[in-house]
Amino acid sequence: MDVLIIIVAVVAVFFILKIAFKVLKTALLLGVAALVVYYLVEYGFLSGLF
């Protein structure tokens, strides 16, 4: 019974880390995109749009 609980716990941790990694990757991509847009606006490349 203990072995089963350990296996379930390992699988649960694996799925939690997988989901957390997806969330982190999305957050990083959004951060990089926001940074790129910020620099474009700062240096006047998008000044015609705003």
Reply yes or no on whether the pLDDT at 1 is more than 60.
yes
As a whole number, mean pLDDT of residues 10-23 equals 96
pTM (2 d.p.): 0.56
Give CA–CA dist 30/39, Å, rounded.
Answer: 14
Distances in Å between the Cα of 33 and the Cα atoms of 4, 5, 30 are: 44, 42, 5
Q: Measured in Å, how far apart are the chain's first and last C-alpha atoms?
A: 64
As a whole number, mean pLDDT of residues 5-15 equals 96
Q: What single-letter amino acid sits at 22?
A: K
Between 13-17, 24-28, 41-45, the lowest mean confidence (pLDDT) is in 41-45
Reply yes or no on whether the pLDDT at 42 is more than 90.
no
